[in-house]
Amino acid sequence: DETFSAAAVDLGASSGRVVLGRIGPERLEADVVHRFANKPYRDDERLCWNLGELFDGIVNGLARARAADQGLESVAVDSWAVDYGLLDADGSLLGAPVHYRDSRTDGIMDTIRQRLGDEHLYAITGLQFLPFNTLYQLLAEGPERLERAATILLMPDLLTHALTGAVGAERTNASTTQLYDVSRGEWAAELATDLGIPRRILPDIHDPGDPRGRLLPELRERVGDDGRIMVRAAGSHDTASAVAAVPALGERFAYISCGTWSLVGVELDAPVLSLESAAANFTNEVGVDGTIRYLRNVIGLWPLQECVREWAVDGGSASAEFAELLEAANREPALRSVFDPDSAELLSPGDMPERIRKLCADAGLPVPETRAAVVRCILDSLAIGHARAVRDASRLSGRAVDVVHLVGGGSQNRLLAQLTAEATGLPVLAGPTEATALGNLLVQARAAGVLGSQAEARALVAATQRIERFEPAGGLDWSPWIAA
Ligand code: LFR
């Protein structure tokens, strides 16, 4: 039997899942065997990730995967980017990992940009300016803690370390820190040292697919493993994994990896480091196979998720209540009021419907009063953000785009897919929903020699997964909104 069994551990901002995959040259099946909540908590005023709960969720999930398939031979972890834990010289964690939406970084990015200049920072790292980049978070730690730290491990590396004892930095995620030299393919050591970040804390970099080690003996028992399972690196940045599973057949495509964030861009062979690109806040993150994920963070489903939380509506994909809310939003008039999806006021949690109403009121637009109107306002605004980013990615990189691939949880939102087609004026291919987990699995399968090229992996996704096509119907002119 040439079927390869692997588990993808995929951690998202609100939940984690363990997905059991079975992969062969013409087979790609993935089943969620365990899903667990990811609930940040406040500690000393800081919004923190609950590492212990995440780890338990992972180990329990691996035990289920192993019980479902005795042939399970490979595991890899991916998660959101930029966040990390610091280990001291004894290997103990210096406090819980802090959530990137915490306010500890307030003001730091502006200070550093003024001191070093965007041109300098962008020429080295090619990274978009987001207030929560690892660089600014490390500076928020203060010199004393940095002195005590022996190593920094980004979230997937931290969890891989807890599974195996291995220390290292996976490349796709390292590229999101703003401490990575995107042209040289190594840590931006000089930049780090200039800013007072000790070079020694940046661990050796390895690539997606690389073996990281076997499960620690005490975990083998909990998982039911006999030492057979190899823990590998995925494209450990979730967006890198999602893009790896985009079912594109040529190169003239844009992608939108849509969940809590929408990551919108194109795939390139080399970074775009122009000042114009920096000004448009496009990022050059590293993808699987050393590709460049030339993209922009768009606010994504975050405002909708926050509204749904506030209204105590079940936002799950199987929820009838949520489906009704989307249908009501579909009946609302289009483009009645929109907000700028880049509004910095929307980044932090809490009070979302009111903040959206205020943005509309401040812009002199009709204030969305009902829930349906708020949802419609959010989705119209997000579609505009999508269209603007697709257009800019193509213009700034010179890559022509004929089709938009919408992947991730947001691809299940048919209204959003249709609005994105309208706003971009391009066909939208929606799916797969579990792109991140599939991309994680495909990299493992390639590393194990079960699949060949990345093109082969993508063709397998296209042939096996459910993908729905949305055509722009026209009728409404979105261009003034996109331009504004
Ligand atoms: C998406 C994502 C984005 C990153 C953001 C914060 O889940 O990984 O790519 O900018 O989360 O880490």
| pLDDT one-digit tens code per residue, 244-293 | 999 999 999 999 999 999 999 999 999 999 999 999 999 999 999 999 99
Structural contact between residues 380 and 419, judged by C-beta atoms closer than 8 angstroms: yes
Ligand 1 atom closest to Cα of residue 80: 8
Ligand 1 atom closest to Cα of residue 82: 12
Residue type, 138: L
pLDDT tens, position by position, 329-374: 999 999 999 999 999 999 999 999 999 999 999 999 999 999 999 9
| DSSP designation for 203 | P
Q: Which stretches of 157-229 are assigned E, i.e. beta strand? A: 169-170, 180-181, 186-187, 205-206, 211-214
Q: Does residue 44 register a pLDDT over 90?
A: no
As a three-state string, the secondary structure of 72-125 is CCEEEEEECCCCEEEECCCCCECCCCECCCCHHHCCHHHHHHHHHCHHHHHHHH
Measured by CA distance, the residue closest to atom 9 of ligand 1 is 239
d(CA 141, ligand 1 centre) in Å: 21
Q: Is 78 a catalytic residue?
A: no
The alpha helices in 199-301, defined as continuous H runs, are: 217-223, 238-244, 275-279
125, 128, 261, 342, best to mutate for ligand 1 pocket (most atoms within 8 Å of CB): 261
User: What's the whole-number average pLDDT of the chain?
Assistant: 97
- pTM of the complete model: 0.97
Measured by CA distance, the residue closest to atom 1 of ligand 1 is 80
From the DSSP assignment, how many helices (H) and strands (E) are in the chain?
A: 19, 21
Q: How far apart are CA 18 and CA 7, in angstroms?
A: 7
Measured by CA distance, the residue closest to atom 11 of ligand 1 is 80
Q: What is the pLDDT of residue 302?
A: 97
d(CA 13, ligand 1 centre) in Å: 9
Q: What is the pLDDT of residue 444?
A: 98
d(CA 237, ligand 1 centre) in Å: 8
Q: Does residue 316 register a pLDDT over 90?
A: no
Please pick, among 238, 340, 351, 477, the residue that the annotation labels catalytic: 238
Measured by CA distance, the residue closest to atom 2 of ligand 1 is 80
11, 15, 82, best to mutate for ligand 1 pocket (most atoms within 8 Å of CB): 82
Ligand 1 atom closest to Cα of residue 261: 1
pLDDT band for 1, please (50, 70, 90 cuts): low
Ligand 1 atom closest to Cα of residue 257: 1
d(CA 153, ligand 1 centre) in Å: 16
Number of C-alpha atoms within 13 angstroms, CB side, residue 452?
6
Ligand 1 atom closest to Cα of residue 285: 9
d(CA 423, ligand 1 centre) in Å: 24
d(CA 9, ligand 1 centre) in Å: 16
Q: How far apart are CA 442 and CA 271, in angstroms?
A: 24
Ligand 1 atom closest to Cα of residue 238: 8
d(CA 107, ligand 1 centre) in Å: 20
Among 43-57, 173-187, 203-217, 470-484, the minimum mean pLDDT is found in 470-484
Q: Does residue 2 register a pLDDT over 80?
A: no
Strands 428-430 and 403-407: parallel
Measured by CA distance, the residue closest to atom 4 of ligand 1 is 81
> What are the pocket residues of ligand 1 if the criterion is a CB atom closer than 6 Å to any ligand atom?
80-82, 100, 237-239, 259-261, 263, 297
pLDDT tens, position by position, 384-417: 999 999 999 999 999 999 999 999 999 999 999 9
d(CA 220, ligand 1 centre) in Å: 31
Type and span of the H or E element at 437:
helix 435-447
Percentage of the chain exceeding pLDDT 70: 100
What is the Rg, in whole angstroms, of the alpha carbon atoms belonging to the chain?
22
Give the mean pLDDT of 185-212.
98
Tally of CB atoms within 10 A around 152: 26
Q: What is the pLDDT of residue 241?
A: 98
Q: How far lies 272's CA from each of 107, 185, 222, 399, in Å?
A: 27, 15, 46, 11
Measured by CA distance, the residue closest to atom 7 of ligand 1 is 80
Q: How far apart are CA 396 and CA 389, in angstroms?
A: 10
Q: What is the pLDDT of residue 317?
A: 82
Measured by CA distance, the residue closest to atom 10 of ligand 1 is 81
47, 239, 295, 347, best to mutate for ligand 1 pocket (most atoms within 8 Å of CB): 239
Q: What is the pLDDT of residue 380?
A: 98
Exposure class string for 414-438: b at 16+ Cβ within 10 A, else e: ebbbbbbbbbbebebbbbbbbbbbb
